[in-house]
Structure 1
Amino acid sequence: MGTELSIWELVSEASLLVQLVMLTLLVLSVTTWIFIFERRRVLSGAYKRFANFEERFWSGMDLSQLYRQINANPDTDNGGEQIFRAGFKEFSRLRQQQVTDADAIMAACQRAMRVSVSKEMEKLDQHLSFLATVGSTSPYIGLFGTVWGIMNSFRGLASVPQVTLSTVAPGISEALIATAMGLFAAIPAVIAYNRYSARSDKLVANYETFAEEFSAILHRQAHLLVTQGKKREVPA
């Protein structure tokens, strides 16, 4: 009865190219898990921060007071705060310049908030492209290592007078490890990408909804400012 080879022995006896493929897949797998835990922390924190900000925003607090509080202690990881700051800052700037066109005021505020939403989207989608790349390419990298390993195994069998299962099995086994490692790297990456991409899209949709609701509030204030300005222009 032949001696059973361990996984480590199969890896150590593989050809140099197959070992490089395995090392590449190992690095990709470790990096994938690092990004999975990092994205989980970032997205969970983003949801909690946005919920806390919305609670403050809809509590009835004066918007100018809320803006001063946020400016005094800004949280760059809070997407809601960043969108609010961008919109209200533009609104305050145009108000100080005594712009009397409500549509121009709203266009500028909405543009500032759209830019802020885009920046927050970039933060949420960070590293997701890496997960997608690993999920789509790792099986092929592993398959390449397997095909190469099997080719070398059959080339080595050409010099063996009698081929048995015990002579073929070790070479094929060490080659198939590359495919297994490719799947081990790809499956978590695909699952994580689908999950975190959906959560990111949902949060961005919440940001956009908040921006629209905030735009409606600013729209009313802009028309109020324009109306007050016209009243001041009427001679007594």
Structure 2
Amino acid sequence: MHLSLLFTVLVGGEIVDLVGETGAVAKVVLLVLLVFSVISWAIILSKWSLLRRARVQSGRFLRAFRKAQRLNDMAAVADQFRPSPLVAVFEGGFEEYRRQGAVSSGVVKNPTSIQRAMQIAASEELTRFERNLPWLAITGAVTPFVGLFGTVWGIIDAFHGLGTAGAATLRAVAPGISEALITTAAGLVAAIPAVIAYNLIGSSIRSFAARGDDFALEMLNAVDRAQPQTQGQSAYRTLEPEVRR
């Protein structure tokens, strides 16, 4: 009850009044920080939703892939597991598998090309997941300095007011000091969530990248098993140096 009342007073009263009393420069600084913060939160919420759905769908996709009897069966239902990045990796490899005529013959002419196709697909998915992520890093790095600029300007204004008044009175310096403090706080409010989200989202994306590499190996094993025994053994020997690198 007391915390709720305090929050209401601060947000609905004092902070709004402080912002209203700031000078033109401070208002511009606060507007810039607000734009950074709004865009950052839009990216954070969008990425959180994407990663959450991708995590769930990746688990479902892996279970379906491991139960599938044939690669053709998995290709027919792969689309329903989007936005999992594993779907793109699978489709990249399967498209190359199909292009070599292995769907009908069961014989892969160039297993290494399947591996390369999956690596390209994984790289494209990584790029897609990282889209707009640099904005969070920029927000975390820039907004504290934007707030600092407002702080410096507020201090300059405070000293200017002190010189105009001719006496070191609280009335002379208080507006400039409050202006300085509110821009500093706004800069931190914009920066802290962006930095935290950038690191957490980046960690999740790296986890997806590692999972994609592991799945590519599973896909290669499935391709190897789908071939006639003699051909499968030769394909394994061809792929082994690539995988170890």
Q: What TM-score range do you get, normalising by the shorter chain?
A: 0.7 to 0.9
Tell me how far apart the structure 2 counterparts of residues 175 and 15 of structure 1 sit (CA, whole Å). Answer: 10
Q: Identify which of 31, 34, 42 aligns with 1:34.
A: 42
Q: Identify which of 89, 104, 107 aligns with 2:95.
A: 89
Letter in 2 for 1:133: I
Aligned length: 220
2:129·2:205 contact (CA, 8 Å) conserved in 1? yes
1:157·1:163 contact (CA, 8 Å) conserved in 2? yes
Letter in 2 for 1:207: G
Are positions 1:113 and 2:121 aligned together? no
1:10·1:174 contact (CA, 8 Å) conserved in 2? yes
Encode CA deviations 1:92-145: one digit per residue, 9 max, x unaligned. 21126999x96x611210111011101111222122211111111111110011
C-alpha deviation, 1:15, in angstroms: 2.4
SS at match of 1:77: coil
- The higher-RCO structure (CA 8 Å, 6+ apart) is 1
Tell me how far apart the structure 2 counterparts of residues 194 and 125 of structure 1 sit (CA, whole Å). Answer: 12
Encode CA deviations 1:133-176: one digit per residue, 9 max, x unaligned. 11111111100111012112212221213221232122101121
Letter in 2 for 1:68: A
Q: Identify which of 202, 207, 213 aligns with 2:218.
A: 213
1:106·1:222 contact (CA, 8 Å) conserved in 2? no
Are positions 1:46 and 2:54 aligned together? yes
Structure 1 stretches of 4+ moved >6 Å: none
1:14·1:175 contact (CA, 8 Å) conserved in 2? no
C-alpha deviation, 1:221, in angstroms: 4.0
Q: TM-score scaled by structure 1?
A: 0.84
Q: Identify which of 125, 142, 156 aligns with 2:161.
A: 156
Q: Identify which of 45, 52, 57 aligns with 2:65.
A: 57
Aligned to 1:177: 182
* Greater Rg by CA: 1
1:139·1:179 contact (CA, 8 Å) conserved in 2? yes
Letter in 2 for 1:84: F
C-alpha deviation, 1:35, in angstroms: 1.5
C-alpha deviation, 1:53, in angstroms: 0.5
C-alpha deviation, 1:216, in angstroms: 2.5
What is the root-mean-square deviation of aligned Cα atoms in Å? Answer: 2.5
